[in-house]
A and B are shown apart, each in its own frame.
Chain A
Amino acid sequence: MTALKASMAGTVLNILVAEGDAVTAGQAVITIESMKMEIPIEAEVGGKVEKIHVEVGSFVNEEDTLLTLGE
C-alpha cells in the first residue's frame, strides 16, 4: 500500500478517480487549489485506488494523505 500525500496545503478542488479505479504512475488523480492556483496531484506509482481520504472542498495540509493505492 502506498499513501499519496498532498505536496502543499490547499483545498481539494476535484477528485478525478473513484475507489476501485486502476491508475498509472504520473496520472493526475486529485486537483488541489492553493493560492488561487489549481495544482494537479499525480499518482507516484500505478495501482488500484483503495481508499480516498478526502472530499471535494476539504482543506488539506502539506503531507496529509489524500488516497491510498494498493496492488
Chain B
Amino acid sequence: MKKILIANRGEIARRIIRTCNRLGIDTVAIHSEADGDLPYVSEATEAVLIGPNPVVQSYLQMDKIIEEAKKRNVEAIHPGYGLLSENAQFARKVTEAGIVFIGPESSIIEKMGDKIESRKTMIEAGVPVVPGTEEGTRTLEEALEAAAGLGYPVMLKASSGGGGIGMVRCEDEQALSQQFAGVKNRAKAYFGDDVVFLEKFISDARHIEVQIFGDHHGNIVHLFERNCSVQRRNQKVIEESPSPHLPQDARERLCAAAVKAAEAVRYTNAGTVEFIVDKNNDFYFLEMNTRLQVEHPVTEEVTGWDLVEWQLKVAAGEALPQQETIGSKGHAIEYRIYAEDPKTFLPSPGKLGKVVWGKGARIETGYEEGNSVTPFYDPMISKIIIQGADRVEALAKSQKFFATAEITGLKTNIALFKNFIESQEFISGEYATAVLPQWMEKTKEEKKI
C-alpha cells in the first residue's frame, strides 16, 4: 500500500497518520471548515476541505469522500471510529469504487450493526447473550408482556443504536410505559430505524470487551480484554487491561467466546466483542463493534503490537501472527479527557489555552494549544494512556501525571480524574458500571456533611 485516505478527524486521524508515516504510506486527510487548523490536517501528506461544519455536510458525505479518494489515486480508505466506520453502505460503496475498505466486509458490518440480528447470530454460535427479547417489540403491550417475563429492571434499546444513544434503563412497568415511545422516536431520528427490544438489566455488572482480529486466510485471534466499566451517560471514560479481579479461567473463557463470536461471522480486520460480566464472572454478549475502538491503545500498550499497522496489513491481504505469539505484559489504563463540566458532564466547547501534561504517559490528542474544540463534534480532546509493570505502578504513575495536568480556556474532566483515581472504589479495582455516578453522589453527600 502506498497511499490511503482517512475518512475521519482529530486524534484518530493523527494516530493513523503516525503509523502510515512509519510504514512509508502517504495519507490524505479530509476536513470541515472548522477543522482546517487542527494538527492532523497539516500532518497528512495531502489534505482536502470536504465541506461545511455539520457532519452530514462533511464527514458523512460518502460520495464526495470516495470521489476525492479516486481523484487522488488512493488504494484504501481508513474510516477510523464513529462517523462512517460502521456504515455498511459506505463500506460497500468504497469497495464498488475499486478501493479497499480498511475494515470488515459490508455484510458483516450490517449484521453486527443490527443488535437483534447480532444476538441471534451469537445464540446460534453458542455464545451466551443477555436474556432478552428475540425479536423487536413493536408495541408497548408487547414490551410490557416481555418485561414481565424477564423481570425488572430492563434495558430498552434501539436495535440500530450505539454510542450510548438509544438505550434507557426502566425500573418498572410505569417507567417502561413512559420511555417506550421516546426511545422509539429517538431511534428513528438518530439511526433511521425505530425497532426496539428489551434486555434484562444485569446489576453490579462490569463491561469487559475483547479485542479480536481476523485476516483473509481464516486466522482469527484475540488480544485479550479491556475493562471499560468507568462510564458516564453509558459512555466510557476510563479503560484498563488486564481487567482487575477477573480470574484467569474467566479471562480465558471470555477470550475464547469472543473468538467464537468472530468465527461465527468469519470476521476480518479489527473488531471488539463487548460483554457484560456479572459478580459470579458469568458473561453475556452485548454487541460487536466492527471497527478500531477509541481505547485500542490500552491493548497496544500491554501486547506491544500496533493495531493500525495490523489493520493495514490485513487490508493488504497479509497474514496475522498466530495466537500463541500474542502475549500481554504489565498493565495499561486510558483516561479520556473531555471538554465538559466535571460535575454536570455538560459540554464545554471553546479554545484551548494552556495545555500542561504530566510525565510518563502516551498522549493521543487531536488538539494542541490554541486550537478550538468546536460544538460540531465529539467533546473528546485527548486520551492519556499510562502503562506500568502492574496495576499498582500504573495507578501511581497516573496520580503523578494528573497532579500536574492542566488545561485552561475551557472546562475539562481533568479535575474529576484527579479525585477519582485517589478513590477507594477505583484503587481497589472492584468496580461495576455504576461506579462513577455512585462515587460522585457519595462525594457530594460527604461535602454536605
Contact = CB atoms under 8 A, between A and B. Distances in A.
Given A9-B375, A11-B375, A34-B375, A39 B349 contact: no
Contact of A8 (B54, B346, B377, B378): B346
Contacts of B349: 8-10, 34-35
A44 B420 CA distance: 33
A34 B347 contact: yes
Interface string B373-393: 011111100000000000000
Interface string B346-357: 111100000000
B412 to A, nearest CB: 12
A11 B374 CA distance: 11
A18 B349 CA distance: 28
Contacts of A7: 346
B339 interface: yes
B236 to A, nearest CB: 14
A35 B339 contact: yes
A54 to B, nearest CB: 14
A9 B379 CA distance: 13
A37 B347 contact: yes
A35 B54 contact: no
A33 B55 CA distance: 13
Contacts of A36: 377-379
Contacts of B346: 7-8, 37, 39
A60 to B, nearest CB: 9
Contacts of B347: 8, 10, 34-35, 37, 39
B373 to A, nearest CB: 8
Interface residues of A, number: 11
**Chain A CB within 10 A, most for which of B347, B348, B349, B378:** B347
A3 B349 CA distance: 22
A11 B379 contact: no
Interface string B335-350: 0000110000011110
Interface in A18-54: 33-37, 39
A66 to B, nearest CB: 15
A36 B10 CA distance: 15
A17 to B, nearest CB: 19
Nearest to B348: A8
B82 to A, nearest CB: 9
> Which among A9, A11, A36 has the highest number of chain B CB atoms within 10 Å?
A36
Nearest to A9: B375
A35 B381 CA distance: 11
Contact of A11 (B54, B340, B378): B54
A8 B348 CA distance: 7
Contacts of A11: 54, 375-376
B85 to A, nearest CB: 15
Interface in B315-342: 339-340
A65 B376 CA distance: 20
A37 B376 CA distance: 10
A9 to B, nearest CB: 5
B368 to A, nearest CB: 19
B158 to A, nearest CB: 15
A60 B378 CA distance: 17
A5 B348 CA distance: 16
Nearest to B379: A35
Interface string B275-311: 0000000000000000000000000000000000000
A39 B54 CA distance: 17
Contacts of A39: 346-347
Contacts of B348: 8
Interface of A: 7-11, 33-37, 39
5 contacts: A9-B375, A34-B349, A35-B378, A36-B378, A37-B347
Given A9-B375, A33-B375, A35-B347, 6 more contacts: A8-B347, A11-B375, A11-B376, A35-B340, A35-B379, A37-B346
